[in-house]
Every structure is written in C-alpha cells, then in structure tokens.
Amino acid sequence: MGSEGKIVFTEEQEALVVKSWSVMKKNSAELGLKLFLKIFEIAPTTKKMFSFLRDSPIPAEQNPKLKPHAMSVFVMCCESAAQLRKTGEVTVKETTLKRLGASHSKYGVVAEHFEVAKYALLETIKEAVPEMWSPEMKAAWGQAYDHLVAAIKAEMKPSP
C-alpha cells in the first residue's frame, strides 16, 4: 500500500481539496487540457510520450484524448487527499499503483516531469478558483499530489 510512514493530513486540508475540486469538476475537460498545455509549454519533449499526440495530425490543444489523462491526475489527487486524511497513507489499490509505476517508466516519465506537472497543476487550480486560492489550499493540493506521486514512483523500476 503506501510507501511511506503515517502522514498527518487534516480534515481541513482534505476539505480544501474537495471544495475546490467540486467547483472545478464542472469545467474539468477544459482544465485538464489547460493543465497539459502548461506541461507541454514547460517541457515540450513530454508531448512525444503520448502515443495519440505523436501519431495524430490533430494539434494537442484540440486532441480529445488528452482529457481523460488529465482527469485521472485531478481525480487521483482528490482520492489521495481523502485517503491521506482517513488512513495517513495513499491507499490507491496496489495493482493500480504497480500498473501506473510500470506504465509511466515505460513512457519515459522521470522525476522532473512529475515536478513540472505539480507546478502546472497548482497553477491551473489557482487560475480556476482564484477566489478560493490560498497558501493553505496550495499546500493541501501539493501534499496530496506529492504523496500520490511518491507512491507511483515507488513502483517505477529503472528500465533494464
């Protein structure tokens, strides 16, 4: 399950994540696209990792296949926040973590890409809910993301 010791994630922190997500959800397709366009702007080489972008004549900003991945990142961070508060660990199903670890190693995702994605995620949320945004909200999303990514990374094997 979680790769780390018990983590203190408070009810208030979970509430900040859930509250902002419940507003963003309505707009999640657009936000998801925005998130990945930010990632591609900072780290253009990551675009080539996506089979459906590599092999497609459709520009990334119009590619409907980007949305589900971006949604997974948002939704899994939310789930991670809820689990962190309840159990102090990221309790994503072990098979799911193993699969994500193995697949992301295979795609060539490295630590820096997760860092870029974190920055892009926090910027996207800040722009989506400016009236709610606060240092506490940034820290809550940041922690939920960091613990989820640590759990994924723990399942990433270096390629042989």
**Cα distance between residue 31 and residue 75, in whole Å:** 12
- Please pick, from the candidates 51, 58, 61, 112, the single residue that binds ligand HEM as defined by CB under 6 A: 51
Of the two residues 35 and 137, which places its CB atom closer to ligand HEM in the complex? 35
Q: Point out which span in 4-12, 25-33, 48-56, 124-132 binds ligand HEM (CB under 6 A).
A: 48-56
| 100 near ligand HEM, judged by CB under 6 A | yes
The beta-carbon contacts of 60-63 under 8 Å, at least 24 apart in sequence, are 60/36, 61/33, 61/37
Q: Which of 14, 32, 114 is nearest to 74 (CA)?
A: 32
Residue 137 · residue 16 · CB < 8 Å = yes
Point out which residues bind ligand HEM (CB under 6 A): 39, 46, 49-52, 69, 72-73, 76, 99-100, 103-104, 107, 109, 113-114, 117, 148-149
